Structure 1
């Protein structure tokens, strides 16, 4: 892993001047700080947040400082709200260059709290998944559409930066829904990385340790009392750096903020340790071994299992007839 100092986080700030940044959850905490950093370096920022008053307040403050910022109501679990957010950005500024699906919540409802009705468990509320995963997928889906639009220079900056957590790597006790959502966000980044790399669109996933924001519930804050927290400005800086770094090698990286120390870049090549490495080796072996008589025997076995013998016999008969016909015609 490579450590990135605070001084380096904004070393490519010239790349964002005039760029259009769409950020969800930009009214408070990490999102607010991130919106501020991009605006300070000349980006045009569009904030979407359920907290309309908070969004308008930060937009007003940043405009007063000379920035181009607009804010609008956006519940990330509502598809129409997200569409309206992107359409606002595109109609106002003519492009979308950087997308940050930042909106997130903590473990709002407990998976292990069982409520009964007539002795039967009621359906659990999955609000945490709705916001932290479905909402992120909505934003990502729209990013995949809008980022390539009106792109004149194929080398111009385009980026999608997802927000994971230390919970993307470690399970958090009493927070299975939050942990599941953040594991999933890392998986989304890893899956999209090779696709977006071909389009010269940067992607990364930021993984902060606990920070002093409203997303951390009071019991967790009490539990973490005395333990160094990750500074919010450094998290915003990591988001900024993940979006703007010029090196193609860092595309698809995870960016770890494990405590109050520096940002660590984890290249995609290093997602291959331990169990990850075992799975990767077996996958590669399977792909390389998909040849020869054993492969074809296994192929035929699986086709019989899937389609049944009559279909296999029909296919075999057609292939045999074609072979005989080819031999007779071509000699």
Structure 2
């Protein structure tokens, strides 16, 4: 894992799951972390965990589906810590729906967070990094479902496929400014959402991974921390599967 010492980072969706674990991992590796989260109680809990472990963090409440709030988040980070080195566009929502059953309001909600929210983060983060002359890194959370036509998941699949293309295109656009844009594509991660799955459904998911189990959030956080570090300087425009063989073999 790369060294993040002194780097100022924003992590969206940092109140739980991959976002919380990445915030903890970043802080453990020396980064100053803006915990960006729509759920204030969860976000403040992440900040407390970081501070209890000796790290440095602060909370910012944000709805990533609103561009003015994303801009305000970026401005806050710079006011608080003086610069912006890393922005992890991780916040996301999901729901299961067949195309014939998809509710239009649910469709728009998911797209506004998972697709528009990532674009807003890229745009606001890149504008600020360019203004400051920072050779920063923007990391986006995609999904294995960006590459697989998983049934009854049409809106989520669409949004995450858009994240992959946004990552690649933004990397090309921002390379002249020294800003890298990369992504991660997790498979099934052991977060609270799995508690809603029936036991049979969860077992069916587990066997799609090479080790026949879901992946812990720490494994995704480790990859994000590496991608955000100078050690990954030669990786740009790539979306890295964190999938335990899901895409390749199962």
Whether TM-score is above 0.5 comes out as yes
Pair 1:174 & 2:152 matched = yes
- Return closer, same or farther for 1:157/1:65 CA change in 2, 3 Å cut-off: farther
Deviation at 1:128, TM superposition (A): 1.2
Change (3 A) 1:114 1:95: closer
Mapped contact 1:209–1:257 kept (Cα < 8 A): yes
Note the alpha carbon deviations across 1:264-296, whole angstroms, 9 max, x for none.
Answer: 9xxxxxxxxxxxxxxxxxxxxxxxxxxxxxxxx
- What are structure 1's unaligned runs of at least 5 residues? 1-9, 116-121, 265-331
Structure 2 Cα separation of the partners of residues 124 and 102 of structure 1: 19
Alignment of 1:230 with 2:215, yes or no, is yes
Q: Secondary structure at the match of 1:237?
A: helix
Closer, same or farther: CA 157–104 of 1 in aligned 2, 3 Å: same
Structure 2 length normalisation: TM-score?
0.87
Counterpart in the other structure of 1:86: 74
Q: Say which SS state the counterpart of residue 130 (structure 2) adopts.
A: coil
Give the corresponding residue for 1:189: 167
1:149 maps to which of 118, 131, 139: 131
Shift in alpha-carbon separation, 1:255–1:221, aligned structure 2, 3 A: farther
Residues 139 and 184 in structure 2, CA contact (< 8 A), matched pair in contact too: yes
Structure possessing the higher relative contact order (Cα contacts under 8 Å, 6 or more residues apart): 2
2:210 aligned partner: none
- Kept in 1, the 8 Å contact 2:169–2:237? The answer is no
Q: Say if 1:229 and 1:260, in contact at 8 Å, map to a contact too.
A: no
1:144, distance to aligned residue in structure 2 (A): 1.1
| Structure 1 residue 247 displacement after superposition | 4.9
Choose 214-223 or 81-90, whichever is displaced more: 214-223
- The answer to whether the Cα contact below 8 Å between 1:158 and 1:202 also exists between their aligned partners in 2 is yes
Answer yes or no: is 1:42 the counterpart of 2:41.
no
Go from structure 1 to structure 2 and tell me whether the alpha carbon gap of 1:74 and 1:259 turns closer, same or farther (over 3 Å shift): same
The Cα shift of 1:218 comes to 2.5
Pick which of 164-173 and 189-198 moved more. 189-198
How does 1:111-126 map onto structure 2 within 5 Å?
A: 111-113=99-101, 125-126=107-108
Q: CA deviation at 1:81?
A: 2.1
Q: Is the 8 Å Cα contact of residues 203 and 242 (structure 1) preserved in structure 2?
A: no
Deviates more, 1:81-90 or 1:168-177: 81-90
Distance 1:219 1:60, change over 3 A: closer
211-220 or 236-245, which deviates more: 211-220
Give the greater-gyration-radius structure (CA): 1
Distance 1:56 1:82 in 2: 18
Aligned equivalents of 1:72, 1:129: Cα separation in 2? 22
- Counterparts of 1:1-331 in structure 2, within 5 Å, are 10=1, 12-13=2-3, 16-107=4-95, 111-113=99-101, 125-151=107-133, 158-216=136-194, 218-219=196-197, 222-225=200-203, 226-227=206-207, 228-259=213-244
Aligned CA RMSD, in angstroms, stands at: 2.4
Q: Gaps (5+ residues) in structure 2?
A: 208-212
**1:63/1:108 CA distance change after superposition, 3 Å:** same
User: Could you say what secondary structure the match of 1:250 adopts?
Assistant: coil
Per-residue Cα deviation, 1:285-327 (whole angstroms, up to 9, x for no partner) = xxxxxxxxxxxxxxxxxxxxxxxxxxxxxxxxxxxxxxxxxxx
| 1:136 aligned counterpart, secondary structure | helix
138-147 vs 190-199, which moves further: 190-199
Contact 1:109 1:128 in 2 (8 A): no
